[in-house]
């Protein structure tokens, strides 16, 4: 079985966005970049499937970006068990999801993967789009926000999270899944494996190599806007917790008018 895992490098979740006023640009230069946390579940799931099915299974990590993304690819993909990586080198930083999906589609169609795994969303753009678009453009089944995945030959049973419950979806490969926290526990790379990861093959590609033009955008971000400032916190000063709680309940009822 050929498995692709599509990954992205994103600013760490502890990142602060320093934006004093609305601006046409967002300065991203100081951000610490890590593998998108949801992509780690996709990588882990691919490796677990390979461990179950044996060595005929090959796991390829696919990423789009400059040389700086290779740190995440080596440490969080190759060092934990992906067999190889493909990096598309075109300048597509901050591209919209459909542009990314079109480039990934060219790679997936060229290589013919049976299974494609993605994170359920990237924690910078919060689009939750790329994986599902990729499935559509490759004419594959997809299941999004997956918390459980089982295979019986080519047939899969996937559980996905919905409001107040879950949906159990059945189908057959080729298929794409977007992975949610809870699907598995991503392993950490060992130091020797990080060293060895540098020896695993990494194919560099451009859109031109894939026979496509760099896709055009359908949207344009005109402005980045800081969140509205919140007022001062009103601290309820009362030594007696029960009295403080009563005062709070009264404020929520009479001042905030929300209970």
Partner 1 sequence: MPNIAVFIEQRDGEAKKVAWQMINHARKITDASGGEVWGVFLGKDAGNNAADAGSWGAHKLFTAIDENLAGYNSELYTTAVASFCSANNPDLVLMGATAMGKDLAPRLAARMDCACVSDSIDVNFDNGFTIRRPVFAGKCYTDVNIKSNTAVVGIRPNSFNLDQPGSDSATAETFDPGIGGVTPKATVAEVKATSGGAIELTEADVIVSGGRGIKEADNYKMIEELAGVLNAGTGASRAIVDAGWVDHSHQVGQTGKTVSPNLYIACGISGAIQHLAGMSSSKCIVAINKDSNAPIFKAATYGIVADLFDVVPALKEAIQSLD
Residues 158-217 that bind partner 1 (CB under 8 A): 160-172, 175, 180-182, 217
CA–CA gap between residue 101 and residue 153 (Å, rounded): 27
Residue found under tokens 């390829």: 60
Contact criterion met (CB below 8 Å) for 109 and 25: no
Contact criterion met (CB below 8 Å) for 75 and 216: no
Specify the stretch interacting with partner 1 by CB under 8 A; choose among 45-53, 83-91, 201-209, 235-243. Answer: 235-243
**244 binding partner 1? (CB under 8 A):** yes
What 8-state DSSP symbol labels residue 192?
A: H
- By CB under 8 A, the residues from 133 to 162 that bind partner 1 are 133, 135-137, 140-145, 147, 157, 160-162
Specify the stretch interacting with partner 1 by CB under 8 A; choose among 43-51, 72-80, 84-92, 94-102. Answer: 94-102
**What is the smallest separation between the CB atom of 171 and partner 1, expressed in angstroms?**
3
- By CB under 8 A, the residues from 48 to 77 that bind partner 1 are none
CA–CA gap between residue 244 and residue 235 (Å, rounded): 10
What 8-state DSSP symbol labels residue 87?
A: E
Specify the stretch interacting with partner 1 by CB under 8 A; choose among 65-73, 97-105, 188-196, 203-211. Answer: 97-105
Structural element, H or E, at residue 247: helix 241-254
Judged by CB under 8 A, the residue of 101, 115, 149, 210 near partner 1 is 101
Specify the stretch interacting with partner 1 by CB under 8 A; choose among 12-20, 45-53, 63-71, 83-91. Answer: 12-20
**246 binding partner 1? (CB under 8 A):** yes
Measured in degrees and rounded to the nearest 5, phi and psi for residue 118 equal -135, 165
Beta bridge partners of 161: 166
């Amino acid at each position: 079985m050929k498995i692709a895992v599509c990954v992205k490098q994103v600013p760490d979740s502890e990142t602060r966005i320093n934006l004093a006023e609305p601006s046409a640009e967002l300065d991203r230069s100081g951000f610490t970049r890590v593998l998108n946390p949801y992509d780690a579940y996709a990588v882990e799931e691919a490796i677990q499937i390979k461990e179950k099915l044996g060595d005929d299974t090959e796991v390829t990590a696919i990423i789009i970006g400059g040389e700086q993304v290779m740190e995440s690819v080596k440490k969080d993909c190759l060092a934990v068990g992906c067999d190889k990586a493909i990096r598309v080198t075109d300048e597509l930083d901050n591209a919209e999801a459909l542009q990314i999906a079109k480039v990934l589609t060219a790679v997936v169609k060229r290589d013919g993967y049976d299974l494609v795994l993605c994170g359920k969303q990237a924690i910078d753009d919060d689009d939750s789009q790329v994986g599902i678009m990729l499935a559509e453009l490759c004419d594959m089944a997809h299941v999004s926000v997956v918390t459980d995945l089982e295979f019986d030959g080519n047939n899969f049973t996937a559980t996905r999270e919905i409001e107040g419950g879950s949906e159990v979806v059945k189908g057959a490969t080729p298929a794409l899944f977007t992975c949610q926290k809870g699907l598995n526990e991503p392993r950490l790379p060992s130091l020797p494996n990080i060293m060895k990861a540098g020896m695993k093959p990494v194919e560099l590609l451009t859109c031109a190599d894939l026979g496509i033009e760099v896709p055009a955008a359908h949207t344009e971000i005109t402005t980045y806007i800081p969140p509205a400032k919140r007022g001062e916190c009103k601290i309820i000063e009362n030594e007696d917790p029960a009295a403080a709680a009563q005062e709070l309940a009264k404020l929520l009822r009479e001042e905030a008018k929300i209970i």
